[in-house]
Structure 1
Amino acid sequence: MKSVVIEQPGKLVIEERPLPEPSAGEVRVKVRLAGICGSDSHIYRGHNPFARYPRVIGHEFFGVIDAVGEGVDAKRLGERVSVDPVISCGHCYPCSVGKPNVCTSLVVLGVHRDGGFSEYAVVPAQNAWTIPDAIPDRHAVMVEPFTIAANVTAQAAPQEQDVALIYGAGPMGLVTVQALKGVYKVKRVIVVDRIEERLAMARRSGADWTINNGERPLADALAEAGVKPTLIVDAACHPSILQEAITLASPAARIVLMGFSSEPSQIVQQGITGKELSIFSSRLNAHKFPVVIDWLAKGAIDPEKLITHTFDYHHVTDAIELFEKDQRQCCKVLLTFGQ
């Protein structure tokens, strides 16, 4: 089989590898589609501190089960599945409180263990989630990105009366827009970014108001409209954003950090306690695959609004470079691995 391998930072090869056999409790997935994420790019460029090389990247992937290991029901052969990349121990403290996404021995497919940019991938059977026939392949491969929004919203508990502000109209900001509007019916969702084309994508995803903070300060725009956000989601993660969010937030608001920066943020504690703000962080997903599959089945979200490009996996280098360089026209890039 062919696999996309990052041998070392900056060196990507398409390598012939032996067809893997599933061990007990595992299934083998014949991959059909995989999505490119910023973390794949970071591993390729050597900017992901968790990655070990060589590595088959890819943690957003979909395919069909074509082999099962011992203890797995043979009836699963032929199932269309989307794969949860989060592998956890199930018994440490985080796992015991429902946070397997920060398991003390966390393994993420495509980061710590070979992932889905391959013609075949072996994964734990419990991580392969069955996709209903009514959900097309192109939407099934997008389950994992939407689980990020599902994880954020599960913590922040959006309400219809919220005034939500999302920093960043990249893929993670856009899936959050769709979750807030399509699932939680939040009446007002505001998105701020510096790229007009990305703001247009946000409007197509349901944003009610978009602000280009490269043209005018966000604080001025909100003040002129008399708006105090009650729910703020940081999907851009620049070190300066947290303090601005604290300043702009309504009393009793919630702030959620979706990603991370290695640079320190300087904040004034008085702004947090004076308003009794709640600050959450979110990493990966905690058992959110069935949640998102249900969203898709009900038509509450539309992955098609995010998919802008599709490449055959042989052109993966071109696909990653486009993803990295064209932030105006490119949002979600899919790789095809055959049927």
Structure 2
Amino acid sequence: MAMGRATVLVKPNHLETWDVPIPEPEAGGALVRVVIGGVCGSDLHITTGEAGVMPFPIILGHEGVGRVEKLGPGVSTDYAGIPVKVGDLVYWSPIALCHRCHSCTVLEETPCENSQFFEHAEKPNWGSYADYAWLPGGLAFFRLPEGADPEAVAALGCALPTVLRGFDRCGPVRVNETVVVQGAGPVGLSAVLVAAIAGAREIIVIDSVDKKLEIARQLGATATVSLADSPEERRRQIYDLCGHNGPNVVVEAAGYLPAFPEGVDLTGNHGRYIVLGLWGAIGTQPISPRDLTTKNLTVAGASFPKPQNYYQAMHLAARLQDRFPLAALVTHRFAIRDADKALAAVKAGEVIKAVIDPTL
């Protein structure tokens, strides 16, 4: 059997490059040659063990754009009913839904109770730090629109679907609302982009890296606030811009536990606090429950975007790729064998978006 390379997390903080078999696609599925495997902040939390115990060994990577190598029996369209053929570029949702559980059929929500986010590295696998991704039946994939730049789609990886999922759950940004975004990584930048096209009056981004704040402005931020300032000074600057009632929406995209109580404090009266970045940071932080009541706050989280969020994100990126510098957000490329360097660069805050490029 032909073999391909993959980055395998054998145990926390222990990565290896394996040669793995390239399996035939199953009925309803597909085999794709990975073009870009996105490096997500969650991958770092998974690698270090901060996100909990995983079913080791696993092939890393849950963001991917690939080219169809083979289609499984019975497959002639993508999961939106668009004709698909060998050679087409596709973008996939990394969870195979069973459509036979309470979450899938009654709640119509993700994550699915019977599906896996990762498969054992020795089995057919959809991890994207690899030459090939095996997409099982039930794992939604979508053909890229004509003219879509794969890098523009990959640049916001699972971040843009996550933001769309968050706004679906907590309510969209409305025209003339004021928005604060904690963090200018891919999730934060996605929130800026969505808020900008929705017509927000103020979009204020908090981060410590000047380059990331500059990119946030390019994507629609109206103001930026430095983490070098004290929490009190940050709050003063934000309320000066938003008015005495405070921000209508605050988005947590920092992935840093102390951001949570600050976000609750920053959210204005009758506002919404949307927690998106703390999936991989296990722990607790103190807040005053009374603040939720007296300010009439809505606090909600979102994770595991639905397939429709991946479909929406793909088309949104394709539509906006010439209006905003989306492809340019991919600032660092790494070979499969250098996944450890990719994760180290993400941890150091050196990148806007890092990707695994199997051609390197």
In the alignment, structure 2 segments of 5+ residues that lack a partner are 78-83
The Cα offsets for residues 28-64 of structure 1, whole Å up to 9 and x where unpaired, read as 0111111111122223323331522111101111111
1: CA distance, partners of 2:144 / 2:119: 21
Q: Name which of 66, 80, 90 aligns with 1:81.
A: 90
Shift in alpha-carbon separation, 1:250–1:134, aligned structure 2, 3 A: same
User: How do 1:126-165 and structure 2 match up within 5 A?
Assistant: 126-142=139-155, 143-155=157-169, 156-165=171-180
* SS of equivalent residue, structure 1 residue 102: coil
Q: What is the distance in 1 between the residues matched to 2:10 and 2:288?
A: 43
The match for 1:286 is: 306
Instruction: Output the CA distance in 1 between the equivalents of 2:150 and 2:213.
Output: 27
Q: Which amino acid aligns with 1:317?
A: D
CA drift at 1:301: 5.5
Partner of residue 273, structure 2: 255
Task: Give 1:176's aligned residue.
Answer: 191
Higher mean displacement: 241-250 or 165-174: 241-250
State the SS of the aligned residue for 1:291. helix
Alignment partner of 1:322 out of 339, 345, 356? 345
SS of the aligned residue for 1:23 comes to: coil
The one-letter amino acid paired with 1:129 is F
Alignment of 1:16-165 (within 5 A): 16-73=19-76, 76-96=85-105, 99-109=108-118, 114-124=126-136, 126-142=139-155, 143-155=157-169, 156-165=171-180
Equivalent position of 2:286 in the other structure: 266
Q: Distance in 2 between matches of 1:7 and 1:246?
A: 38
Q: 2: CA distance between counterparts of 1:101 and 1:20?
A: 27
Opposite residue 122 of structure 1, the aligned amino acid is: W
Aligned equivalents of 1:186, 1:73: Cα separation in 2: 41
Counterpart of 1:108, as a letter, is F
Tell me how far 1:291 sits from its aligned partner.
0.8
Alpha-carbon distance in structure 2 between the residues aligned to 1:201 and 1:144: 18
Q: Distance in 2 between matches of 1:279 and 1:21?
A: 45
User: For the Cα contact (< 8 Å) 2:250–2:266, is it kept in 1?
Assistant: no
Say yes or no: does 1:201 pair with 2:215.
Answer: yes
Q: Counterpart of 1:187?
A: 201
After superposition, the CA RMSD in angstroms is 2.4
Mapped to 1, the partners of 2:134 and 2:191 lie a distance apart of: 30
Which whole-Å CA distance do the structure 2 matches of 1:130 and 1:282 have between them? 25
After superposition, the C-alpha distances for 1:249-290 in whole angstroms (9 at most, x for unaligned) are 222111100032322222222221222211110102122122
Instruction: Give the counterpart of 2:249 among 231, 237, 243.
Output: 231
Please state how far the C-alpha of 1:331 moved relative to its aligned partner. Answer: 1.5
SS of the equivalent of 2:355 reads: strand
Equivalent residue, structure 2, for 1:4? 7
Secondary structure in structure 2 of the residue aligned to 1:127: strand
Scaled by the length of structure 1, the TM-score of the pair is 0.90
Using the alignment, how far apart are the partners of 2:6 and 2:326 within structure 1? 26
Q: Which amino acid aligns with 2:287?
A: I
Match of 1:337?
358
Task: Find out whether 1:167 has 2:167 as its counterpart.
Answer: no
Whether the 8 Å CA contact 2:64–2:91 is kept in 1: the answer is yes
Q: 1:218 aligns with which of 208, 212, 234?
A: 234
For 2:55 and 2:228, locate their aligned partners in 1 and report how far apart those are by CA, in whole Å. 37
Call closer, same or farther: CA 1:223–1:111 in 2, change over 3 Å.
farther
Letter in 1 for 2:294: G
Corresponding residue pairs, total: 336
C-alpha separation between the residues in 2 aligned to 1:148 and 1:118? 23
Aligned CA distance change for structure 1 residues 271 and 108 (closer, same or farther; 3 Å): same
Does the aligned pair in 2 maintain the 1:51–1:111 contact within 8 Å? no
Distance in 1 between residues matched to 2:300 and 2:108, nearest whole Å: 13
Out of 110-119 and 4-13, give the one that drifted further: 110-119
Residue 304 of structure 1 deviates from its aligned partner by: 2.3
Q: What fraction of aligned residue pairs are identical, expressed as a percent?
A: 23
Contact 1:24 1:69 in 2 (8 A): yes
Task: List alignment gaps of at least 5 residues for structure 1.
Answer: none
Partner of 2:80: none
Cα shift readout 1:113-139 (whole Å, capped 9, x = no counterpart): 651111111113552211023011212
